[in-house]
Structure 1
Amino acid sequence: MLLNRRSALSLIACLTALGAVRPASAAARVITYSEQTLAEVVASGEPYLIDFFATWCGTCAAQDRVLEGLAAESTIYAAIPIIRVDWDEHSRGDLVRKMDIPRRSTLVMMRGTTELGRLVADTRRDAIAGLLDLSGS
Structure 2
Amino acid sequence: MNRRDLLIMSGAALLLAGRASASNIDYTPGLVQQRLAAGETLFVDFFAPWCGTCRTQERHIEALREENPAYDAAMSFIRVDWDTYGRGELAQSLEIPRRSTLVVLRGDAELGRIVAGTSRSAIQELMDLGLS
Same fold at TM > 0.5? yes
- CA distance in structure 1 between the aligned counterparts of 2:119 and 2:65, rounded to whole angstroms: 15
Q: After the TM superposition, list the runs of 4 or more consecutive aligned residues in structure 1 that deviate by more than 2 angstroms.
A: 25-29
Q: Is the 8 A contact 1:63 1:122 kept in 2?
A: yes
Q: Distance in 2 between matches of 1:37 and 1:96?
A: 13
CA contact (8 A) 2:22 2:65 kept: yes
Separation in 2, partners of 1:95, 1:37:
10
RMSD over equivalenced CA pairs, Å: 1.8
Relative to structure 2, which stretch is displaced further, 106-115 or 41-50?
41-50
> Relative to total residues, which structure has the larger helix share, 1 or 2?
2
Aligned partners of 1:99 and 1:35: how far apart in 2?
14
Q: How far does residue 46 in structure 1 lie from its aligned partner after superposition? A: 2.2
CA distance 1:57–1:101, shift in 2 (3 Å):
same
Q: 8 Å contact 1:31–1:84 — kept in the other structure?
A: yes
Could you say which residue in structure 2 is the equivalent of 1:10? none
Contact 1:48–1:110 (8 Å) recurs in 2? yes
Query: TM-score scaled by structure 2?
Result: 0.79
The answer for the alignment partner of 2:39 in structure 1 is: 45
Partner of 1:95: 90
- The answer to whether the Cα contact below 8 Å between 1:53 and 1:85 also exists between their aligned partners in 2 is yes
Structure 1: unaligned runs, 5 residues or longer: 1-24
Largest Rg, 1 or 2: 1
How far the C-alpha of 1:111 sits from its partner, in A, is 0.4
After TM superposition, the structure 1 = structure 2 runs for residues 73-112 of structure 1, keeping only pairs within 5 Å, are: 73-79=67-73, 80-112=75-107
Give TM-score, length-normalised by structure 1. Answer: 0.76
